[in-house]
């Protein structure tokens, strides 16, 4: 939607200006060379904007306490690499003071700007008028999504059965077709933006409405999902990422593996059968973090967040997802990718395929170590949770690209290190 896209551009440009201006302001208080000032402005801008993107700071929403924390955490994370690059070659107390002051100025200006912009939108921005065509479950769903997101500032002016029922004297900003019929080409006051229910749903939720789409839609959008160039580049990305992750985490993996071995003398790795691309099973590796033969008590119970079968020495490692690192072996073998839908047990898959429409389409790509669904949905405790996860998975499959894969990986690492990865 054009206006919401303009809001994102406004936020991005203003944030960029703050990163650049902060370096200049800090230089007026602490004498520094022009080269250091320019380098600081460039590095902090690049790192800051990218980390804010990773922290979802460019999603449309009103400023809240959560955003206060996300912005502060993002600024801290974004400062680590630039500060290291600037200080490492020629460390000095003066340069350190300059960087600290620059970070403080960025924090104050960003928080002030984001809060002020949110207040301005709440008080002065006029809501946009929305008319929905169709009185069905799809119309009800998009209506629910719009009304639950006040930050979109959209007002549902009418819900009609047919386009002919729309009052031509009524100003319409956005027209949503929630029927399976194509909208009639008709002139409306104000030349509104016209979307299908599926298009608007994707734009405001970053998911696909699986319960409101036809088999023909999926055949059209998922029949030629493979992208040859992307496939090659992703394979290179997968191998490189897997090698780096194994090298970086090897000391921790060795420590956890020794702890498991010393605790009960059992095997360190746990091998399971999971479902991969084209619904083919493969051997899936994990670091064993549960008691031996834990599966005799049943496959991991998805209705419980805590499991008393987890070894005491593995609780922290499991929370930080270090038990998932052996899946790098699966990635190097080509059974898995760094990013994609999570591989599930065959029994679960067969059950989900019976209960959830179009579940089989998540097998149109290689499963992933992490993914868009994992970082958004997290722990699943019901069929509805799994359905929600499917909505994210299918959105990823439809829109995936290498830049997004890299961004999802970094977000997953941030969440895992903070213990928040689902």
Looking at residue 330, its pLDDT comes to 96
- Angle between helix 2-29 and 34-54 (nearest 10): 150
Q: Is 287 within 8 Å of 317 (Cβ atoms)? A: yes
Mean of the per-residue pLDDT values of the chain: 86
CA nearest to 212, candidates 138, 159, 161, 136: 138
Q: Which residue has the tokens 């319960």?
A: 211
Looking at residue 412, its pLDDT comes to 87
pLDDT in tens, 150-166: 888 899 988 998 888 88
Instruction: Please state the length of the chain.
Output: 422
User: Residues 314-338: what's their mean pLDDT?
Assistant: 87
The pLDDT-based confidence of 303 (bands split at 50, 70, 90) is: very low
pLDDT in tens, 56-77: 888 877 777 777 777 888 888 8
* Cα separation, 75 vs 69, whole angstroms: 10
User: Residues 331-360: what's their mean pLDDT?
Assistant: 93
Q: Is 245 within 8 Å of 341 (Cβ atoms)? A: no
* Cα separation, 287 vs 165, whole angstroms: 61
* Residues near 317 by beta carbon (within 8 Å), at least 6 away in sequence: 252, 256, 287, 289, 323
pLDDT in tens, 217-268: 898 888 777 788 999 999 999 999 999 999 998 998 888 888 888 877 788 8
Helices (H), 88-170: 93-124, 137-147
CA nearest to 237, candidates 369, 398, 364: 369
pLDDT in tens, 75-130: 888 999 999 999 988 889 999 999 999 999 999 999 999 889 988 888 888 899 99
* Cα separation, 251 vs 28, whole angstroms: 45
- The total of other beta-carbon atoms located within 10 Å of residue 214's CB is 11
User: Residues 349-365: what's their mean pLDDT?
Assistant: 92
Q: Is 183 within 8 Å of 175 (Cβ atoms)? A: yes
Three-class SS state of 105: helix
Taking the model in full, what pTM does it have? Answer: 0.86
pLDDT in tens, 377-401: 877 778 899 999 999 999 999 999 9
């Amino acid at each position: 939607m054009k206006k919401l896209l303009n809001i994102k551009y406004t936020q991005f440009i203003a944030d960029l200006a703050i990163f650049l201006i902060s370096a200049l302001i800090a230089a007026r208080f602490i004498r520094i060379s022009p080269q250091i000032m320019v380098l600081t402005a460039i590095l902090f801008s690049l790192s800051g904007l990218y980390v804010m993107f990773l922290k979802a700071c460019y999603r449309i929403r009103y400023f809240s306490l959560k955003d206060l924390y996300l912005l502060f955490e993002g600024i801290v994370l974004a400062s680590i690499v630039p500060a290291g690059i600037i200080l490492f070659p020629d460390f000095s107390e003066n340069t350190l003071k300059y960087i600290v002051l620059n970070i403080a100025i960025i924090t104050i200006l960003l928080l002030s700007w984001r809060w002020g912009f949110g207040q301005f939108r709440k008080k002065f921005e006029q809501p946009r008028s929305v008319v929905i065509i169709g009185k069905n479950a799809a119309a009800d769903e998009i209506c629910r999504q719009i009304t639950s997101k006040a930050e979109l500032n959209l007002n549902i002016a009418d819900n009609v059965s047919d386009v002919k029922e729309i009052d031509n004297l009524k100003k319409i900003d956005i027209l949503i077709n929630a029927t399976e019929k194509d909208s009639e080409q008709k002139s409306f006051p104000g030349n509104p933006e016209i979307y299908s229910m599926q298009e608007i749903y994707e734009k405001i939720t970053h998911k696909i409405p699986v319960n409101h789409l036809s088999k023909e839609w999926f055949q059209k959008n998922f029949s030629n999902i493979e992208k040859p160039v992307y496939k090659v580049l992703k394979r290179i990305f997968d191998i490189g990422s897997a090698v780096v992750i194994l090298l970086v985490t090897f000391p921790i993996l060795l420590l956890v593996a020794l702890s498991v071995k010393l605790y009960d003398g059992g095997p360190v790795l746990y091998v399971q059968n999971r479902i991969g691309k084209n619904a083919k099973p493969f051997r899936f590796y994990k670091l064993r973090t549960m008691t031996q033969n834990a599966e005799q008590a049943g496959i991991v119970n998805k209705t419980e967040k805590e499991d008393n079968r987890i070894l005491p020495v593995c609780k922290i490692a499991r929370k930080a997802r270090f038990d998932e690192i052996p899946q790098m072996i699966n990635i190097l073998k080509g059974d898995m990718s760094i990013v994609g839908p999570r591989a599930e047990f065959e029994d679960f898959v067969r059950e989900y395929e019976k209960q959830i429409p179009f579940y089989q389409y998540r097998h149109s790509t290689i499963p992933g170590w992490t993914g868009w669904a994992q970082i958004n949905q997290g722990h699943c405790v019901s069929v509805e949770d799994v359905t929600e996860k499917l909505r994210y998975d299918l959105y990823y499959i439809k829109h995936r690209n290498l830049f997004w894969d890299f961004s999802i990986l970094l977000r997953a690492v941030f969440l895992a290190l903070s213990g928040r990865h689902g």
